[in-house]
Structure 1
Amino acid sequence: MSKLIQYVDKVANDIQFSGTIHVKSSEGITTKSYGYSNRAERIKNQTNTRYGIASGCKIFTSIAICQLIDAGKLSFDTTLNQCLDVDFPYFDENITIHHLLTHTSGVPDYFDEDEMDDYEELWVSIPMYHIRSLKDFLPLFKNMKMKAEVGSSFSYNNAGYILLGLIVEKVSGYVFDDYIQKYIFQKAGMEDSGYFEMDGLPERTAFGYIEKPNGDWKTNIYSLPVKSASDGGAYVTARDMALFWDALMNNLLLSDDMTDQFLKRRIHVDDDIYYGYAGYMQVMENKTIKHILMGYDPGVNFRFVHYPATSSTIVVCSNKSEGAYEILKKIEDVLV
């Protein structure tokens, strides 16, 4: 691993990377941190620093839904209007759990990446400090018309995962983040992970940083909803994400049969990239080469890959808007 770290150190220095890497392969396990969790106080990132991972945590929502299906409380064919007592005047009545999980529901998104380039723009007219529960997101999209036909091609959608989180709350009787804490984080041994509020972050949590045009830095406290949600924003350590994947692969979170279903490809995205209940995956010659999780928010950059053939896992968490991909690629170049 020493050779790997030498290569990573060079890239990290070149791009001024800030964050933590965690690598597990046949050569062993290594974790290393770079940069600062608090730039003003010059507090360095540590191996146990917690980072926001943006959409990287959609997989937790997906697992929660599959756990409820495992328990016989839902099915992949259960429709949205069978789950929620919310009026969606323009939504297709045929939208199912499967459609929501695979981004093929066609529902409108509260942040449409085809129309908005910058997530920060969303909160210019909507106070982000009011978004503290899943139901607070509903006015942002529930009265909008469908973006596409239900069951149409893949179109990445955050609102669909807000709906899935609301379904978890309705069916389980738990507040969403309490459910995830009990049935995923605790089962996986993810002791440092949680759905936190940005104005009340616990110890060892990195501030997210955005570079300003003049080269100075600002935190992302005014750029994101104050409370992490079912479509993104949970905080984890890099090591916790590796523990999470181990728990998933060892059938600690889902039944054996459901784990198999969870890891299958479902929807073609582009070239050799597919999407399934477990997120993105690269498939070649009908074989899954790697599973891919990623997340981006202003001041947040997250990348994760797992190679089934070698049981290798790479986690890169960053508290800047960029850098995780470059670090991941260098690690892959050395290991794969």
Structure 2
Amino acid sequence: MDSDSVGGIDRRRLVTWGGLAAASVVAASAPLVGARTAHAHSDPTGSSERDRIPPDTRPGGAYDRYVAQLAAEGKFSGVVLLSHRGRTVLSRSYGMADKEKGIRNHEGIAFNLSSASQPFLSVAILQLLQQGRLTLSDPVGKHLTGFATDIAEQVTIHHLLTSTTGLDAPMPDWQRIFHSREEVHEHYQRWTRQATLVGVPGAGSNGHRPGAGVGLAMAAQIVEALSGMTFWDYVHEHVFRRCGMKGSAFYTRQQWLTDEHIAHPYMLQTDGSLVDAVRNLDKGSVDSNTQGRNPGRGFIGYASGDGFATAPDLVRFAEALRNGTVLDRPYADLFTGAKLPGGDPTSFHGYTMPLSITNGQWVFGRGGGGPGIGANWSIYPDTGWVGVALSNDDNVQIQDLLLQQEAAITGAPVNPPPGGGG
């Protein structure tokens, strides 16, 4: 569970990233790692506007220069990738994945996605829908036991995936350190059954409540009940493996500490220093939105976040959605379609992700943020673009970076939100 996050990219939501934009605090400059950059590809048709490669997306273009400047100022550590119709146009990596071991960030490094991994849950549910094993109007009680009657009978799977359940639950204990998958699983089984119905299901978003993620945990338990697998194993087998996402997983804390292909999150402290969250479980975030939290304490993520992926794997996920590998075409369209209106005429809510119309293009994706973590992937199906930004440093300038990415791909003007970094 993490702070509010976005994807897509909607300017209004960008303001809610909370702990990611520690723009006013500049630590010592991170090492600038000259990453591999794939060649930009020429227009394959010579005429189609949709196949055009905008100059600002190319190596040496405006977006490339912008990210390089952030990194040089110590305001970005991570990976950015722009892909057009499955072909890499720009790939850059900066900073360190593990400072203690001297491992630099690169394309093969997996980053914690925080809540940017939530759409994998939606894909799992829609796969089961495709198989005829559930309907989106099924109430929770059709598949799970132990819930209060009002929840069991009134809250549906559609409500779970749109965060319109009307549910609340006790605030999680952010100081607790978990030690096994079994302990985490048992915790979520118990926590979901402490939920109470405090609103009308379907009446509006309950994302502001302390227990907002409880509905996603219920959805994961429905996946488990129908598949006979843990949520983690199901997503590994039927989402990551099917998409060819070999560097992606719900990694455990032991893997985070020992696997050299996983980026460590570096949390900002009150003295301006950055500490490795996974190696310092006694330390916590000092950001007001994530006060005292440490992602390493969770041992392994669950439905509301903390899956891991590499930047190329997120492009593979986009391709699997496009070509019917992970969901048949009608169900992929259902996944990426608007379900509810958003806060302005061109933004919408989908299943565990926001969607929008940006400079005439449909765009969907997901962002996530937490202590030492910043992640965003955006898919532009009309023109075949995918933009990925993954970071492992609290000094990241995520709002402006995503606006620059959006501008490079769509030509939209860059108008930073109030309070954004520069």
Please give the residue correspondences for 1:51-200 in structure 2 after superposition, counting only pairs within 5 Å. 51-88=111-148, 91=151, 93-109=153-169, 111=171, 122-124=173-175, 126-129=176-179, 132-156=183-207, 157-200=212-255
2:101 is aligned with 1:41: yes
**Matched letter for residue 137 of structure 2:** D
Q: Answer whether contact 1:15 1:323 (CA < 8 A) is retained.
A: no
Look up the match of 2:403: 329
* Residues in 2 aligned to 1:93 and 1:332: alpha-carbon distance in whole angstroms: 42
Q: Answer whether contact 2:103 2:260 (CA < 8 A) is retained.
A: no
CA RMSD of aligned residues (A): 2.3
What secondary structure is seen at the aligned counterpart in 1 of 2:97? Answer: strand
* Residues in 2 aligned to 1:298 and 1:282: alpha-carbon distance in whole angstroms: 27
Deviation per residue, 1:176-204 (Å, 9 max, x gap): 11111111111111011101111332331
Q: Answer whether contact 2:192 2:217 (CA < 8 A) is retained.
A: no
* Residues in 1 aligned to 2:336 and 2:254: alpha-carbon distance in whole angstroms: 36
Q: Answer whether contact 1:134 1:165 (CA < 8 A) is retained.
A: no
* Residues in 2 aligned to 1:110 and 1:229: alpha-carbon distance in whole angstroms: 17
Cα 1:13–1:109 shift into 2, 3 Å: farther
Q: Answer whether contact 1:303 1:325 (CA < 8 A) is retained.
A: no
Look up the match of 1:264: 337
Look up the match of 1:114: none
* Residues in 1 aligned to 2:251 and 2:311: alpha-carbon distance in whole angstroms: 17
* Residues in 2 aligned to 1:93 and 1:214: alpha-carbon distance in whole angstroms: 51
Measured after TM superposition, the shift of residue 129 of structure 1 is: 3.8
Higher mean Cα deviation, 128-137 or 89-98?
A: 128-137
Measured after TM superposition, the shift of residue 22 of structure 1 is: 1.1
Cα 1:315–1:107 shift into 2, 3 Å: same
Q: Kindly, what percent of the aligned residue pairs are identical? A: 23
Measured after TM superposition, the shift of residue 110 of structure 1 is: 5.0
Q: Answer whether contact 1:291 1:307 (CA < 8 A) is retained.
A: yes
Instruction: Extract unaligned runs of 5+ from structure 2.
Output: 1-57, 282-293, 411-422
Cα 1:189–1:28 shift into 2, 3 Å: closer
- Picking from 7, 11, 16, the partner of 2:70 is 11
When normalised by structure 2's length, the TM-score is 0.72
Instruction: Extract unaligned runs of 5+ from structure 1.
Output: 112-120
* Residues in 2 aligned to 1:101 and 1:244: alpha-carbon distance in whole angstroms: 19
Look up the match of 1:316: 389
What secondary structure is seen at the aligned counterpart in 1 of 2:362? Answer: strand
Cα 1:147–1:295 shift into 2, 3 Å: farther
* Residues in 2 aligned to 1:277 and 1:239: alpha-carbon distance in whole angstroms: 23
Measured after TM superposition, the shift of residue 259 of structure 1 is: 1.4
When normalised by structure 1's length, the TM-score is 0.89
* Residues in 1 aligned to 2:236 and 2:365: alpha-carbon distance in whole angstroms: 23
- Which structure has greater strand proportion? 1
